[in-house]
Structure 1
Amino acid sequence: MAFMLSLLMALVLVSYGPGGSLGCDLSQNQVLLGRKNLRLLGQMRRISPRFCLQDRKDFAFPQEMVEGGHLQEAQAISVLHEMLQQSFNLFHTERSSAAWDTTLLKKLCSGLLEQLDDLDPCLGQVMGEEDSALGRTGPTLAVKRYFQGIHVYLKEKEYSDCAWEIVIVEIMRSLSSSASLQERLRMMDGDLYSP
């Protein structure tokens, strides 16, 4: 019981204490957009990953860093923004245009861009409040390295259909983690407790 009371108090302090609520809108729309983007990724798949087993790779997604409960609000926003930005960059290239149905690809890029636009005010606030090194350290740096590994993999595999299929599965995994992170951020921001 004491633990639950402490946890509840910590949530209240994070939401309303000094450096608490960011005042940016981490609305339910952000979560719904994330789910829509995951569905679009699923629709983009053209072949079963079963046929691409020889191309499988462990990209070492930094799941513990991203989903771990130790992230401060500013770090969580920085990580989420980096994941969305890197996903957008990955699918907003000439190479990806050649690989996918352009209608689905445009919808995905548009959805990722909308999520980024919604998150930009929050990132601006934390970058103003926190050390500007947020993007160059810890979890955010781990996310950047993770995506660099994906880019290297695609290049090594010469952007083959199987390589893209493996990457789609991997990005679905990372965006699924970002959806969990969005939910946690909404709780940190007190959005779920608003009338």
Structure 2
Amino acid sequence: MALLHSLLMALVVVSCGPVPSLGCDLPQSHALVSRQTFLLLGQMGRISPFSCLNDRTDFRLPREMEDGSQVQKAQTLSVLHETLQQIFNLLHTQGSSAAWNTTLLDQLRSDLHRQLEDLETCLLQETGEAESLLTLEDPALAIRRYFQGIHLYLQEKKHSDCAWEVVKIELKKCVLFVNQLARKFQK
């Protein structure tokens, strides 16, 4: 288990390098916040993921999240923003404070808020408000449906600690996606 954890942490450090500008100057701190977000998620749980194996589910990542090639370059910032916004919203739902360390949860919420502000600034610079909504409609809808499935899962499991542990692992996948997508379009 320790070896697996070490390998996963090494992957995070490699994949969370500097976030590209995508035509906009995101602060260098954006990459550090992304790495910190992943690390905080790893520290959040109060129970062992192994005790929750029966609660696992396949949330079925949208193709836009599994394969960044489905996302057009012009949509990248919007997809990144939508994904982070949905994670942020999820962390403000019922039961998140009870399931996780509240100090770490508050720090995670703050870090995500900072990332969202950076991306919103870039979105406005790149496209303008009206156009950004139109360019992302299909990918944003897929991402919203994906997170709606996570919300429904939590409701079905009555926001149990194990349900939140399963969701935490899924959120770590999302953070990795955000970093991979940002890196993909650095050119």
TM-score range, shorter chain: 0.7 to 0.9
Matching residue of 1:71: 71
Matching residue of 2:134: 133
Determine the C-alpha separation between the residues in 1 that align with 2:182 and 2:100.
27
Determine the C-alpha separation between the residues in 2 that align with 1:120 and 1:104.
24
RMSD: 1.8
Determine the C-alpha separation between the residues in 1 that align with 2:147 and 2:37.
18
Aligned length: 164
Matching residue of 1:95: 95
| Structure 1 gap ranges (5+) | 1-20, 189-195
Larger Rg belongs to: 1
* SS across alignment from 1:158: coil
* SS across alignment from 2:69: coil
Determine the C-alpha separation between the residues in 2 that align with 1:181 and 1:28.
16
Determine the C-alpha separation between the residues in 1 that align with 2:112 and 2:60.
22
Kept in 2: contact 1:41–1:172 (CA 8 A): yes
Matching residue of 2:52: 52
Determine the C-alpha separation between the residues in 2 that align with 1:184 and 1:30.
16
Kept in 1: contact 2:38–2:172 (CA 8 A): yes
Matching residue of 1:158: 158
* SS across alignment from 1:69: helix
Kept in 1: contact 2:99–2:161 (CA 8 A): yes
Kept in 2: contact 1:83–1:143 (CA 8 A): yes
Determine the C-alpha separation between the residues in 2 that align with 1:26 and 1:84.
15
Matching residue of 1:26: 26
Determine the C-alpha separation between the residues in 1 that align with 2:136 and 2:68.
18
Determine the C-alpha separation between the residues in 1 that align with 2:107 and 2:27.
20
Q: Using the TM superposition, give the Cα deviation of residue 70 of structure 1 relative to its aligned residue in structure 2, in angstroms.
A: 4.3
Kept in 2: contact 1:82–1:140 (CA 8 A): yes
Kept in 2: contact 1:86–1:147 (CA 8 A): yes
* SS across alignment from 1:93: coil
Q: Using the TM superposition, give the Cα deviation of residue 131 of structure 1 relative to its aligned residue in structure 2, in angstroms.
A: 5.7
| Structure 2 gap ranges (5+) | 1-21
Kindly provide the CA deviation profile for residues 141-162 of structure 1, in whole angstroms up to 9, marking residues without a partner as x: 2111110100000001000010
Q: Give percent identity, aligned residues only.
A: 51
Kept in 1: contact 2:41–2:168 (CA 8 A): yes
Determine the C-alpha separation between the residues in 2 that align with 1:136 and 1:110.
27
Determine the C-alpha separation between the residues in 2 that align with 1:132 and 1:117.
17
- Deviates further, 126-135 or 174-183: 126-135
Q: Using the TM superposition, give the Cα deviation of residue 27 of structure 1 relative to its aligned residue in structure 2, in angstroms.
A: 3.4
Kept in 1: contact 2:82–2:140 (CA 8 A): yes
